[in-house]
Each structure stands twice: as structure tokens, then as C-alpha cells.
Structure 1
Amino acid sequence: MEWTDQVGHGDWIRARLDAATPTMHSVVPHGYPAYARVLHRPHVVRLPGRPVPTQDEWMRMPEAERQRLSDAMVYGPTTWAETARAFGTVVHSEAQWNRLVRTSAGDWQHALAPDGREFEAPTAGQLDPDLVAAVARHLAAHTTTPDDVFVTIWEGWGGLTGFFGQSPGRTFMQLAAHDQTASATRAEDAERRAADAAVYAQHNAMLGRSIHDSFNTVLGQPTWQPGILSDEISRGARLRLPARDHILFHGRIDELADPEWAASVPWRDPERERLGLEPAAESPSLVWPADRAWTMVTEVDFDSTIVGGSAELIRAIVADPLLEALRLEEGADLSWDADGINR
């Protein structure tokens, strides 16, 4: 996959968007025979034998008890369907997470279910890499131009592009090893502390290379701060759509059909890899083939990815057991208050 400044390849999308509409078509092109909503993956926390404490209970809890429960927590992926069962709600094509977990719009990232489990909201703007790959395999089978595909990434992801400023666009939180003095005599804890210390040292080395003394350069002259992408790309042409500006790449759909696609896309973060961390990259924002047989859209503020295409493609995506996907009608409203069923 390579960067291209030929952003005119995406002009047709602009013509099929409704910038002022509250529907999904502010970011998803009109005109496809069918659409699918691929739900982003939520997660769940449980404690064997007891409910997960509320925030107030955590705050009042003695430190030793808090640590014991934290160590006993079981964390893993779940589905929207399982979440709905836990809260007595319904998954449907225009379901909204805050309604699904019966919380207000500003208090839904972590929700305790009646059965004592805590459900964590899916990440907006991010479809997990294995799910991107699963969708891409279907896309590859429903285009005549699988080797002539355009992929965009929203330019606004932190640290992606270079800019003129006084400090880098990317910084990393500094970590410190947890003090486990009470169990320091145990060999296994000593080994764990040593391993943790190595990770923290590695992380903090990255921090040291990624940020300067910005507090003492307030009056300094702005300088060019490099991003993940090259300076040429950072300064290059953008595909300008009503809601977002995008950087355009050209490649093959099979490059995204590999579950390890994040290790090879141009916008991955090489600094992570130099430090021995796993490759990571933001989800593609838009993907479409030269024949325009379909479009995949992962909007920054959506907790689901939308695919428009043929009825056959949409049936295949919805039927895939690896995906939690629902058929979506053209003109669907996916705004936070659009769920009229789970009230």
C-alpha cells in the first residue's frame, strides 16, 4: 500500500454525502443497494463469586481488598447481544450503546449490569484488526478490481502527521512500577517486578525521546514536529470531505484481509516496534475499490463500521459468525439519541 496525492479518486464520495443530515449519510455514501452495520467489539469484566464493585465501593475499600479484587478480575471480549441480555434490552440495527446499557449519554463507558458484571463500551472509530480482516475478505469477493483499492485514514489522529509547533504531537504517559513490598520475599513477585520494571523502562525511554521540555519553550519559535507519516505526506494533498479530511493510499484489498495488516500499513507507528511493542495502527477510515462496488466507512465518532454494497455482499457480512453485523436501511440514523426502542 502506498500514499497517493491523486485525491480526485475520492471526489465521487463527496457527491454522495449529505453533509447537513442527521443520518449516517453525513459520512456514508448514498446509493448502494444494501448496507450493513458491523458492531465494534465491547468488553466485559466479572469477578468470580461476587458483583464488580461500584465506583463508590472501590473508593471506600481498603487498599488490600482493592488489590485482591483487582487481581481476581476476569476481563474479555463480549458482544452487543450478550450486553443486551444482561441489561434486558434489544439489539437492533439502530441500537445505541448508551440505551443498550440503560445509562445517560455521558455515563456509559462502564456500566454495571444487574447480574454484577461490568460492561465496557466499544471503541468509537476503531474496528478491531481481526474484524477489519474478516470484513475485507468479503469485500475481496465482491469487486472486479481487488488489486485497485483506495484506503484513507483521517488526518486528525494524534501524532499521525507532522506540524509546526513547540512540542511533538505524540507524547506517552510515563509509568512507574507498582510497589509490592508486602510480598517482596516471594520469588515469583520479584520476577514479576523485574519484568514490569523492564517494560516501564522501555516505555519511559520512548517517552524521553518523544517529548521536549515544552514548559520552558512557551516563547520559543515553532519548529517542524515530525509525525508517524513522512513530511511529504504530512504536507501533501488531502481528500476533503464534509466532515473530515483524509490522507489517501492505494493498494490491494488483500492487504487488509490479513489479520496482521497493522504491521504493514504506512500509518503504523514504527516507534512502538523499535521498542519491541506490538505493531499498532488506526482503523482505515474509508475503503473502496476502483469499480466502486462497495465502500467501508469507520467514522471516528461511530461505535460501528458501515459497509455499503450489493445485497449479496451484505448478506455475506451479516451471516459471518466472526462478525456481529446487522442489515441497515439506507437513511438510518446512528446518532446517540436515535435508538427509539431501548427507552
Structure 2
Amino acid sequence: MQFSHISAEQGQWVALACSSADPSTVVAQVPVGYERYVRILHPALDEDDQLVSWGTVAKSRNHIITAADLFETVAGLDAQGDPVEEDAWVDTDLPLDQLPEDQWQSLIDTLTVDEPEDQKYVVGLWAGYAFIEGGERIQIEQEPDPTLSDEENREAYETALAHAQKPAFGPEVLNSAPLELGGGYRNYHLFEADAQFLAEPLWAQTADGAQRQRPALAFSADHRWMLSTEPYDDCTILGGPASLIEAVLKNPNLETIEVGQFTRIGHSNE
């Protein structure tokens, strides 16, 4: 399992292709020109922290999901997750902001199954994660040890805090400009990775444990396919050859809906 930092220049084709697109359309995230596109819907969690599909929520309200629907529309909620319809689905929170690990791995298996073993991929890590740069954004709680003096406990805490606040990456990442796709927060550090890392990313081991965030964007080195998960979004969007999209649509582990290049997500009632 390997990954290595690369220049943001290797993602400029995405920035150039998407810069003039209507920001609500599919091709504002995944460039125009792919044969087909699909949304992979992120499940929500119910009050028992069990995964809930969009279809389950829609069925409870007799709602027919359209390609442009946001989860809030399906559930009868506002953007904060509060009910705005009498029959709103109130037994769940808003969807996860990334696919669960097993669903992500199933998706990547489908995308890479027919590709050469030495195929390389470009993956983008959202630059907003605190663990990347460390520093004061990271705080810890540590119970005092009753066997130590106040001064010793303070020194132990400061040592633990300094360790927790160490950046996860070196200067080659921190001092390089990320790929900027507009909108202020759409900034990504790019890495070249193999298929194993793409399926099971492990960016760093920190005081908070293993950092296994799914890539916010990824594409094959030949640009045959590309996927994008915007920060805080309710779905992952994928563009690629017709046969590949068909395979994703038939993947029983994923909840999917096909979209067009110019589908305006969030504007299903227009």
C-alpha cells in the first residue's frame, strides 16, 4: 500500500474543466465529457447508529427519488436536519459526509477490477482536516494522575498536547499549494496511490488514531474515470465509460442513481 505527494498541477485539468460550469450541476465537480455519470448516495444513521438508505426514507413518505434530490428533500427536512413537512423522517440524522468504509471499498473494487495491477491513481485529501497541519486546532483532554504532583501532571499534559499537535505531513505537503477548485473550502492535497491505498486509505497515525478519511476526489492516471465527494455533501459523484457506470449501478452494496452532465443537484422542483 503506497502513496506519495504530487504537485497540484496534476489536477489542474479538473479545475480548468469545471471552472465555468454552473456550480449546482454535476460537471461543476466531475468534468464534462464522460459517457455517463452516477451519484452514489451516502446513507444516514438512525437513532441506534444503524445505516439507513435513502430508499427506506423515501418509502416512509411515499416520495419518489429523482436524480436531483438532496437527502433533505427526500426526508422532508431543512438543511439543518429539522422537519419542515408533517410526515418528515425524524428518526435519522443527515447523511454521512463520506461513504462507509465497506461501501467505499466495494465501489473501488468495481472501478479497479479490470485495470492493470500497476495502475496508478491520483487521490485528493481535503485540506481542511486539522490533523494535516496540526497546531492549536487540535486540543486534548487528559485526566490528572493522582500519583503525580500538579507540576508533573502539567508537564505530562503539555508533552501529550505537543505530540497531538504535530503535523501529519512534512514540508513537502505543508509548503506546497493545494489544488483549488473554487468556493473557498474546495482545496485538496494530491497524492499518487496504488489500488490498495485507494481502497483502504491510511493517511497517518495520530494521537486521535488512524486517519482513514476517504479521498475527496480520485481519478485514474489515464483520466478514464473520476469521482468527487464535496465537503459535507450527501453523495459521491462519478463519471466514466458507460460500461463502468453500468457496473456501479448494478453493485448491490451501493445505493445509486444515474444523473446527466447538467443535472442540477438540489433543484429537483424546478
TM-score range, shorter chain: 0.7 to 0.9
Structure-2 change in CA distance of 1:142 and 1:112 (3 Å):
farther
Partner of 2:259: 328
Kindly indicate whether the alpha-carbon contact (under 8 Å) linking 2:120 and 2:193 is maintained by their aligned counterparts in 1.
Answer: yes
SS of corresponding position for 2:109: helix
Kindly indicate whether the alpha-carbon contact (under 8 Å) linking 1:146 and 1:289 is maintained by their aligned counterparts in 2.
Answer: no
Q: 2-side partners of 1:35 and 1:116: how far apart?
A: 28
Percent of paired sites with the same residue: 22
Partner of 2:149: none
CA drift at 1:146:
5.6
Q: Are 1:340 and 2:269 matched, yes or no?
A: yes
Q: Are 1:30 and 2:32 matched, yes or no?
A: yes
Partner of 2:69: 95
Structure-2 change in CA distance of 1:114 and 1:6 (3 Å):
closer
Partner of 2:148: none
Which letter maps to 1:171?
Q
Q: 1-side partners of 2:65 and 2:105: how far apart?
A: 24
Match of 1:209 among 160, 172, 175: 160
Q: Return 5+ residue gaps in structure 2 as ranges.
A: 144-155
Kindly indicate whether the alpha-carbon contact (under 8 Å) linking 1:101 and 1:111 is maintained by their aligned counterparts in 2.
Answer: no
TM-score, normalised with respect to structure 2: 0.81
Partner of 2:193: 251
Structure-2 change in CA distance of 1:308 and 1:322 (3 Å):
same
Partner of 1:10: 11
Which letter maps to 1:293?
R
Match of 1:169 among 126, 137, 140: 137
- Cα deviations by residue, 1:84-111 (Å, 9 ceiling, x for unpaired): 1122212222111111111233344x89
Structure 1 segment 1-343 matched on structure 2, within 5 A: 1-19=2-20, 21=22, 22-45=24-47, 74-108=48-82, 118-124=91-97, 126-141=98-113, 143=115, 147-162=119-134, 168-172=136-140, 174=141, 209-210=160-161, 226-243=166-183, 244-257=186-199, 261-262=200-201, 265-266=202-203, 268-273=204-209, 279-335=210-266, 338-340=267-269
Which letter maps to 1:251?
A
Q: 1-side partners of 2:191 and 2:84: how far apart?
A: 38
Kindly indicate whether the alpha-carbon contact (under 8 Å) linking 1:101 and 1:113 is maintained by their aligned counterparts in 2.
Answer: no
Which letter maps to 2:93?
E
CA drift at 1:248:
1.0
Structure-2 change in CA distance of 1:116 and 1:207 (3 Å):
farther
CA drift at 1:127:
1.8
Q: 2-side partners of 1:250 and 1:306: how far apart?
A: 20
**Which structure would you say has the larger Rg?**
1
SS of corresponding position for 1:120: coil
Shifted more, 243-252 versus 143-152: the winner is 143-152
**How large is the RMSD of aligned CA atoms in angstroms?**
3.1
Q: 2-side partners of 1:20 and 1:227: how far apart?
A: 35
- Cα deviations by residue, 1:278-334 (Å, 9 ceiling, x for unpaired): x34222011111111100111113210011001111111111110001111111112
Which letter maps to 2:123?
V
Which letter maps to 1:153?
L
Structure-2 change in CA distance of 1:256 and 1:290 (3 Å):
closer
Which letter maps to 1:248?
L
Q: Return 5+ residue gaps in structure 1 as ranges.
A: 46-73, 177-204, 213-224, 274-278
CA drift at 1:121:
1.4
CA drift at 1:112:
10
Which runs of structure 1 show a deviation greater than 4 angstroms over 4 or more consecutive aligned residues? 110-117, 142-146, 205-208
Shifted more, 228-237 versus 317-326: the winner is 228-237
- Cα deviations by residue, 1:181-213 (Å, 9 ceiling, x for unpaired): xxxxxxxxxxxxxxxxxxxxxxxx99983379x
Q: 2-side partners of 1:111 and 1:269: how far apart?
A: 42
Which letter maps to 1:103?
L
CA drift at 1:252:
1.2
Kindly indicate whether the alpha-carbon contact (under 8 Å) linking 2:123 and 2:198 is maintained by their aligned counterparts in 1.
Answer: no
Structure-2 change in CA distance of 1:112 and 1:102 (3 Å):
closer
- Cα deviations by residue, 1:128-157 (Å, 9 ceiling, x for unpaired): 221211111111035468621111111112
Which letter maps to 1:241?
L
TM-score, normalised with respect to structure 1: 0.65
